[in-house]
A = this chain, B = another copy of it.
């Protein structure tokens, strides 16, 4: 007897993860490939379809049979009703692109599409830190800041599926510019690009200038891991940058507590590993700004699933159509 399963595919700016996920949420099989995000709109979609078909083939050969459903998570605001990507930060060619219908033609099956942060939130809800909770605010602190909202056990999509852009609440109207075109968003502080900006400002560097070697990776790109290592060594600039990011993260979380009265705030993404360096200033702002009753009811915890959260959640979305808008 084969186990019932679904495809969960998670496309990032660089890589695609494509997995067979059982109806219990176990990853039975996982494959990796490039996103090819800089290609033409149709080519990027064809690449997703090809990786899905490859997984289906591998699964068949391993005796898993056919999936019950196919879930695909991609970055960026999209309309979950129409399956159209409004605008994807990493895929310049996708602007108003009808991704779901393209994939359905290429794969020959129904596809459930959602954005990557929502998929990750569903993953944490199904199998991670938010398991069994009904009211959860989830934040991914990565290159940018994404979010997912679970209210009453359901993902909040809003009118067209764009809800949950928690990185783009204003935490300081006088704050630095944000990649979204506004300024003083949470993302302008508590993301990799926000931290980079804080370090640049502190060092008096113009945006995009070469950075000290301790805080860049082998390709000379800013590295949150490098900044964390500096903080661990007691470097003042690194500690200050994390303290500032934590301060504004706390301001945002206090607002979320007052808005949602959640049971749990889950923080994931690459920057979440540096939470120890942000927690003090974060907690101070939460204490100062959230209603005590709301704050005392919500724990603030790190995500549990890591990079597999997206594929697990994409599979969950596909397997649970009742959670769709």
Chain B residues within 8 Å of A165, by CB: 258-259, 261, 291, 294
Contact A172 B169 (CB under 8 A): no
A165–B162 alpha-carbon span in the complex (Å): 22
* Complex Cα–Cα for A219 and B114 (A): 56
Q: Is the CB of B170 within 8 A of A173?
A: no
Q: Once the chains bind, are A162 and B255 in contact (CB under 8 Å)?
A: no
Q: How far is the CB of A297 from chain B (nearest CB, A)?
A: 5
Q: Is A293 in contact with B169, judged by CB distance below 8 angstroms?
A: no
Q: A294-B162, A297-B159, A297-B160 are in contact. Are A258 and B168 (CB under 8 A)?
A: yes
Interface size class, chain A: 35 or more
* Complex: A260 Cα to B256 Cα, angstroms: 12
Per-position 1/0 for A140-171, Cβ under 8 A of B: 00000001010110101111111111101111
Nearest-neighbor residue (CB-CB) of A87 within chain B:
B293
A172-B173, A259-B166 known; A325 and B291 CB under 8 Å?
no
Binding site for B on A (CB under 8 A): 77, 86-87, 134-135, 147, 149, 151-152, 154, 156-166, 168-174, 180, 182, 185, 248, 251, 254-255, 258-263, 288-289, 291, 293-294, 297-298, 325
6 closest pairs, A vs B, by CB? A158-B261, A169-B255, A163-B261, A162-B261, A165-B258, A168-B258
